[in-house]
Structure 1
Amino acid sequence: MTQPEIPLQREAPETGPEVVVVTGMSGAGRSTVGNVMEDHGWYVIDNLPVMLLPDLLRLSESREDPVVPESEQSRIGIVLDVRAQGFETLTSSLERLRERGWRTHLVFLDATNEALVRRFESVRRPHPLQGKGRLLDAIQQEREVLADVRTSAENVVDTSGLNVHQLSRKISPLFMSQSSERLRLAVLSFGFKYGVPLDADFVFDMRFLPNPFWVPELRSHTGRETQVSDYVLSQTGAGEFIDGVETMLEPVIAGYLRENRRYVTLAVGCTGGKHRSVAIAEALASRLGSSQIATFVVHRDLGQE
């Protein structure tokens, strides 16, 4: 009988660091889940020998030369496949970690034989256990090896009907922290004379506003300074532009969050990237920051002139 899929949930740790082990059938999406964890700020290690788990975490707790960066020491992800050395000791190793105060969770990814066959055929790679035998035989052998681990898992995720993006959306709530749920929005000012940023998702042209360069007392100042910022924002169309961008981005940001996209760059340009674009970028970043959006400003060409 097929074990029913358990709803995706993870008890938030009250105290102590947390370890999530992701394993399951080859081709079921372990790499995708590892990428999602990294996107949400987890420190992810791929195929660490199981017997080294206690040593890794002991070193991570060390105040001197920790293995895991300090900012990520409380959230560690281990992605394992059946070939990992000492895999058969996984359950007992996790139990020992719990005894030491670590909060551990086991996530198992599964898929039907038909789905796994299609995936291996599409990438034209052999199954890790296939050798010179048949693909279906290797899949069945792996199921038998993983049977006990699957039973021990708190979350079993059937990925059969999911593509990469659908799996990312489904698995993301399991690994989100309050900070990782927010979209990171970079507001980038630039000068058109130096080229349009290659990494911009949105580009806006501020050359419809009067140029402070032609005001002698403002020419040597930048859009980060009050006198220039006040001049730019007081011009006809400046306030309407900022209001319009905010309104336009509302459905876009909501869609990005649904699609699990977490990084967006909004670029605003003027002639030299010193006055208008800088002032507008600062104003947009201040306006767009919210509980769902973490904004930061980059002035690419400030100082070029």
Structure 2
Amino acid sequence: MQKKKFVIVSGLSGAGKTTALNVLEDMGYYVVDNLPCEVASFFVNTSIEKLALGIDIRSFKVTEEFFKLLDEIERAGVEFSLVFIEASDEVILNRYNLTRRKHPLEAATLLESINKESEIMASIRERASGIIDTSNIKPKELSERLKEILMIDSHEKSINIHVQSFGFKYGIPIDLDLLFDVRFLPNPYYIEELREKTGEDAEVYDYVMKYDISQEFAERLLNMLKFLIPNFIKEGKKHLTIGIGCSGGKHRSVTFARLLHNELSKVESLNVYISHREKERRNW
């Protein structure tokens, strides 16, 4: 049984706690934000193995409630990390002025509210496993800092890649990041014994891939994806959808979707899955 991994994200309002929780969600954590401490204790005994709790000044009346929750987690033998998110007063002021949101602590001025919160949260900051100042970092840098603090294995999946075949005659999927048209390749539809088969059948796959143009396109396409994917990951992209289209979404597109799925799945850091839209829609 996998050991539980709990992460508690706390910090100053407006510093980026929600962004940090979104990053953790992309890493596979079950995320719950803005829970009262007395309710958050419920999750200690659940079967959830990777849990991220967002707890800020709205979650307790006094900080002792927060520390009581930490003690309860420790007594349960659950491994956890406390990440504290902060930013400079100037940055937080600018963010609140931009969003026009109300600060959870009421004071005569917004700056007084920020300073008052900093004083209250100081004791929680001291207990933190790691502190991240978001004043001058981008979301992708926040992701790297979280990985460092949580000592997350660098071999975990870096991106989810969905390879989808489709037929142009039924319309283009609206959620594609990359689209490749394979209608220029030899079409098995015109081979009578292959017409009713699909790219999932070995005969169709072999027919499409026996041509030099198919082999050259496959090589060029894979080389381009091997260049693009690491750069998408570098920019913090977590999901990539690749569409492969042919006329009816039955032969050539299915063949190349299978080829991409097989080849990309060999890369350990990629989580690759495949679907055939026209099969799901019963168009073949």
Question: What is the TM-score with the length of structure 1 in the denominator?
Answer: 0.86
For residue 148 of structure 1, what is the aligned residue in structure 2? 123
Counterpart CA distance in 1 for 2:149 and 2:190 is: 54
Q: Deviations over 1:233-274 (max 9, x none)?
A: 112311111111111112211112212212111111111001
Cα distance change on mapping 1:79 and 1:87 into 2, 3 Å: farther
Q: Deviations over 1:124-148 (max 9, x none)?
A: 12211135x2001000110111111
Counterpart CA distance in 1 for 2:157 and 2:67 is: 31
**SS of residue paired to 2:58:** coil
Q: State the 1:179 CA deviation.
A: 7.0
- The counterpart of 1:222, out of the listed 185, 198, 218, is 198
Alignment of 1:277 onto 2:253: yes
Q: State the 1:180 CA deviation.
A: 4.6
Please give the residue correspondences for 1:136-215 in structure 2 after superposition, counting only pairs within 5 Å: 136-174=111-149, 176=152, 180-215=156-191
For 1:129, the aligned partner's letter is: L
Contact 2:156–2:269 (8 Å) recurs in 1: no
Cα distance change on mapping 1:42 and 1:179 into 2, 3 Å: farther
Please give the residue correspondences for 1:96-115 in structure 2 after superposition, counting only pairs within 5 Å: 96-115=72-91
**SS of residue paired to 2:56:** coil
For residue 30 of structure 1, what is the aligned residue in structure 2? 17
For residue 244 of structure 1, what is the aligned residue in structure 2? 220
**SS of residue paired to 2:278:** coil
- The counterpart of 1:291, out of the listed 264, 268, 281, is 268
Question: What is the TM-score with the length of structure 2 in the denominator?
Answer: 0.92
Q: Deviations over 1:79-100 (max 9, x none)?
A: 0110113551212321231122
Cα distance change on mapping 1:174 and 1:261 into 2, 3 Å: farther
For residue 51 of structure 1, what is the aligned residue in structure 2? 38
Which has the larger displacement, 291-300 or 25-34? 291-300
Counterpart CA distance in 2 for 1:186 and 1:211 is: 24
**SS of residue paired to 2:10:** strand
Identity over aligned pairs, percent = 34
Structure 1 runs not aligned, ≥5 long: 1-13, 62-72
Contact 2:130–2:149 (8 Å) recurs in 1: no
For 1:57, the aligned partner's letter is: V
Cα distance change on mapping 1:98 and 1:54 into 2, 3 Å: same
Cα distance change on mapping 1:16 and 1:213 into 2, 3 Å: closer
Alignment of 1:304 onto 2:283: yes
Counterpart CA distance in 1 for 2:81 and 2:69 is: 12
For 1:201, the aligned partner's letter is: D
Alignment of 1:74 onto 2:49: yes
Counterpart CA distance in 2 for 1:21 and 1:259 is: 25
Alignment of 1:85 onto 2:64: no
Structure 1 stretches of 4+ with a deviation exceeding 6 A read none
**SS of residue paired to 1:274:** coil
Counterpart CA distance in 2 for 1:279 and 1:16 is: 40
Contact 1:169–1:260 (8 Å) recurs in 2: no
Counterpart CA distance in 2 for 1:15 and 1:240 is: 44
Cα distance change on mapping 1:56 and 1:287 into 2, 3 Å: closer
**SS of residue paired to 2:59:** coil
Cα distance change on mapping 1:174 and 1:189 into 2, 3 Å: farther
Which has the larger displacement, 91-100 or 194-203? 91-100
For residue 117 of structure 1, what is the aligned residue in structure 2? 93
For 1:225, the aligned partner's letter is: D
For residue 66 of structure 1, what is the aligned residue in structure 2? none
Counterpart CA distance in 2 for 1:156 and 1:96 is: 22
Counterpart CA distance in 1 for 2:25 and 2:251 is: 37
Alignment of 1:19 onto 2:25: no
Q: State the 1:177 CA deviation.
A: 5.4
Root-mean-square deviation (Å): 1.9
Structure 2 runs not aligned, ≥5 long: none
**SS of residue paired to 1:190:** strand
Contact 1:218–1:227 (8 Å) recurs in 2: yes
Counterpart CA distance in 2 for 1:187 and 1:151 is: 46
